[in-house]
Structure 1
Amino acid sequence: MNLPKTLPLAAISVASSLLLTGCFSSGAPSASEGKRIRVAMMQPPRSALSPLSDDAFKLSRWSTAETLVTLDKDGDAQPALATKWRRTGDKTWNFTIRQGVEFHDGSALTAQAVVRSLNAATRAAPKPRILDGVDMKVKASGGSTVAVTTAEADPLVPQRLSSPQLSILAAKAYRGKTVSPVGAGTGAFVLKKVNGTTSATLDRNADYWGGKAKAAGIDVTFVPDGAARAAALRSGDADIVEAVPVSQAALLDEGQISEVPMPRTNTLYLNTEHGPFADPALRAAARRAIDAKALVKGVYENRADVARGLLGPALPWAAKERDGRTKTAKAGDPGGRSITIGTFTDRAELPEVATVLQQQLRDAGFKVKLEVREYANIESDALKGKFDAFILSRATVLDSGDPAAYLHSDFAGDGSFNISQLNDETVDGAVRKAEATAAGDARRAAILKAETAILNTDAAIPMLHERVIQGDATDVVGSAKDPRERELVTNETYVK
């Protein structure tokens, strides 16, 4: 359902009600049971909620599937299904598995269960992003210990194992080539039913090891249209709304929205392999043409931050310590060269960003064509380098809490998400050094050097850093405001 911004508020509310009615449970449990929480989410499942895909982050946000490790606000590893870990050599880490935990089907969490889930991830095709370029072997080492060995020394193994794509599930989840999380997690809520790309139902796990959830369950509906999601909150059809578009935030009461700086950067990726932007001078011309302040003010209504680099204010150490650009290519004359910019509709602001950039680049002397589709229908063409430029809203620490994996995936010559088709020895070397450096100040310094090397190529032009805009009804208590988009409803979340 596509609802234009110009629809009257009442019309949007009615449309939203029609969209959401019947998707949420209308049951009224007793006060002692707690109410169910109705959640409107932006993106429907793309891979039937397989934890080996990006759908894993939905399972994490619903507190149904869990990992060995979680991350604190600084990105440091903390215990979850593993209670402790230690490095026993350059390439091996031992994890002690939490005792007394049961999967939702009643089977026990054991070292062998952990091995099964992690090995399924290592054998997946394609592999989860967090394992991009990582050769990892997992085996049980005693009844409650799991040994994780990598082909190369990897200082970030604990952080990698925090990725929702490495969730630990019961044996029933693994059938042939498919992985189904229904009734197979360990978290505070049991995934009971998935209705394709429409809705999902979760019930409280009364035996949750981390403490009984305060809510009776979660009723999820998938609402790609941002105006409809916001209208659901206004009309009372949803309790929590994910990713409120900037254009809708002003229509909500201030007490209903929360803004948190995200590790997410709105970036223009330039095709360095072929086409006009294979010329560094034209990449520099594009960079000089872009007025990010105009985007923040005009498209994001000042609910975003102008980018100074790829890594934004959600990583305070990056903003504080960045060295900046060390060399700058001389800008060339576009001379009327034609370029095609691609982007997608799933994030409401991106088509508007594309329109503004089109005009800015035209003013600089380019001829600009836009191609805008749904993300599922455009991603493969972007990865194959079929566009001269591509606008992407990209999470920079989504998987490990550490941006080195993002820098590798997006900018290394062998990166799996290298939309810019970049193949630069200096960048590759800087990224490899950052990946090999132990966690801490030295690693952060190496990451910033890699960022500088990437910025020097003008393969990617960071424009702005987004903020999470989450909508909560006024009677919602304890929903997570997570910049990494891993948490949303926890066992402490409830509706009054």
Structure 2
Amino acid sequence: MLVPFIMASPNTGILSPAALKAGKIDPVGTCTGPFIITEVDGQQRLKLKRNDAYWGGKAKLAEAEVRFLPDANVRATQVRSGESHIGRTVPASALAQLKRGPGTSVVSIDTPRTTQMLINTKKAPLDNVKVRQALQAALDLKGIASSLYEGSVEPAIGPFAQHEPWAPKGVQPAKLDVARAKALLAEAGVKPGSLTLELFAYSEKIELKDLAAIIQEQLKAIGVTVKIRVAAYNALEPDMIAGKYDIALLSRSHLTDVADPLAFLTSDYTCKGGYNLSHYCNASFDESLTKAASEADPAKRHEVYAKAAKLLQEQAVNVFIIHERGNDAISSKVKGYALHPLYHYTLTTALSVE
């Protein structure tokens, strides 16, 4: 059922035999989309020219250059300075200035992506649901959304946002309740000041360092000490996969190629899931997803996903913090730009620059 969607995804790239040279991949001059790659400079930049033979119509742009800039603030700055026409995924802290201009604006869209605090559910005392619920109740999600993200996002109600068809109905973000959090820790046998956790935050996502500091301060209010480790994601992931961590911040998309979150729920939350960083295992949860995989009726599958999301929220398997929005900065000279919700396409045939 899902194979046609996967095959239609740009992530399922089919290389021309001409792109395979001496055992290496070299796509220069071999692409069949609206643009042809003319030059690749390592991880610095990519140059393209219009493909006049493109089956989908001639692109308005004659050529383009893509620069790979890992720092989101730099991407925003380059649009403001005129060095770039488009800056993808700019930080929330830059939005107000970009919207005021002059000569710049912001294109925004809801995305299937949530920032969450992963919890290693196999590591004591985090294997106790009351301890996890205490961490959840100690965080001021609304305050985080309005301050750190300057009101550009909504506090999370779980892995899925309210507008999505598979989100549970009537669910609200976890409420800040310090008294309840302290009581839950006491019920779990955790004495005040006895719990110290290490929090991972990866440097590629610029907001996470500040978010980690906020979480550190808010958990201090319930007697939990947090030590922060900031590093590149590839330096943190091995420990997360191996279960050698306490809590970690992660920006996670639940849709990739198909408008159905089954693959996400399976990989992230089933006992044998390939990306189950929470190390969560619940046989009945797995069984419900197995049945959903063979269900042809989308509405019935969505019911299963909603129940799964509600369970993850209620058991505080992770603390879901905010539902992200895609924010791209563009120059006023850019016309015909549309932000793809899965970030599949940026350079389209309709895009032009005055």
When the two structures are superposed, what TM-score results if normalisation uses the length of structure 2?
Answer: 0.89
- Residue 331 (1) aligns with residue 184 (2): yes
- Residue 306 (1) aligns with residue 155 (2): yes
Instruction: Show the counterpart of 1:225.
Output: 71
Note the 1:6-85 alignment, pairs <5 A. Answer: none
Cα 1:418–1:320, aligned 2, differ >3 Å: closer, same or farther? closer
Instruction: Show the counterpart of 1:202.
Output: 48
- Residue 434 (1) aligns with residue 292 (2): yes
Identify unmatched segments of 5+ residues in structure 1: 1-154
Cα 1:474–1:190, aligned 2, differ >3 Å: closer, same or farther? same
Distance in 1 (CA, whole Å) between partners of 2:4 and 2:260 is: 11
Which secondary structure state, in structure 2, belongs to the residue aligned with residue 277 of structure 1? coil
Q: Deviations over 1:161-180 (max 9, x none)?
A: 23332122212334687544
Q: Cα RMSD between the aligned structures?
A: 2.2
Note the 1:148-167 alignment, pairs <5 A. Answer: 155-167=1-13
What letter matches 2:216 in structure 1? Q
The alpha carbon displacement at 1:258 in A equals 1.7
Instruction: Show the counterpart of 1:367.
Output: 225
Distance in 1 (CA, whole Å) between partners of 2:342 and 2:88 is: 13
Instruction: Show the counterpart of 2:238.
Output: 380
Q: Deviations over 1:431-451 (max 9, x none)?
A: 222322225212211211222
Cα 1:492–1:176, aligned 2, differ >3 Å: closer, same or farther? same
Instruction: Show the counterpart of 1:389.
Output: 247
The alpha carbon displacement at 1:352 in A equals 0.9
- Residue 404 (1) aligns with residue 250 (2): no
- Residue 290 (1) aligns with residue 139 (2): yes
Moved over 4 A (4+): 174-180, 322-325
Distance in 2 (CA, whole Å) between partners of 1:374 and 1:466 is: 21
Instruction: Show the counterpart of 2:80.
Output: 234
- Residue 461 (1) aligns with residue 314 (2): no
Identify unmatched segments of 5+ residues in structure 2: 174-180
Paired positions, count: 338
Cα 1:308–1:212, aligned 2, differ >3 Å: closer, same or farther? same
When the two structures are superposed, what TM-score results if normalisation uses the length of structure 1?
Answer: 0.64
The alpha carbon displacement at 1:428 in A equals 1.2
Instruction: Show the counterpart of 1:341.
Output: 199
8 A Cα contact 2:167 2:309, kept in partner: no
- Residue 212 (1) aligns with residue 58 (2): yes
Q: Deviations over 1:280-310 (max 9, x none)?
A: 2211111111111111011100011111121
Cα 1:170–1:197, aligned 2, differ >3 Å: closer, same or farther? same
What letter matches 2:81 in structure 1? S
Cα 1:174–1:411, aligned 2, differ >3 Å: closer, same or farther? farther
Cα 1:294–1:217, aligned 2, differ >3 Å: closer, same or farther? same
Q: Structure with the greater relative contact order (CA < 8 A, sep ≥ 6): 1 or 2?
A: 2
- Residue 277 (1) aligns with residue 130 (2): no
8 A Cα contact 1:275 1:388, kept in partner: no
